[in-house]
Amino acid sequence: MKRIVVTILGLVVLGALATVSYAAGVIPGTEGCTLRSVDEDSYVAENERVFATIELPDYLRNATTNTYSVGIPAMDSCLPNENGPPYGAYVTWHVFIQPPGQYPRGYDRRLLGPEWVSQNGGLSRDESFRRGQASLTISTSDEATSFAVDHRRYDH
pLDDT tens digits, 98-146? 777 766 677 888 899 999 998 876 656 788 999 999 999 999 888 889 9
Query: Could you tell me the pTM of the whole model?
Result: 0.74
Q: Are residues 102 and 56 in the same domain?
A: yes
What are the respective helix, strand and coil percentages of the chain, to the nearest 5? Answer: 30, 30, 45
Backbone φ and ψ of 49, nearest 5° = -65, -40
- Domain co-membership, 67 together with 26: no
Same domain, 77 and 124: yes
Q: Is 110 exposed, middle or buried (0-12, 13-18, 19+ CB in 10 A)?
A: exposed
Judge if 19 and 72 occupy the same domain. Answer: no
Q: 67 — phi, psi (to 5°)?
A: -125, 135
- For residue 149, the cross-strand partners are 92, 136
Q: Which domain holds residue 57?
A: 36-150
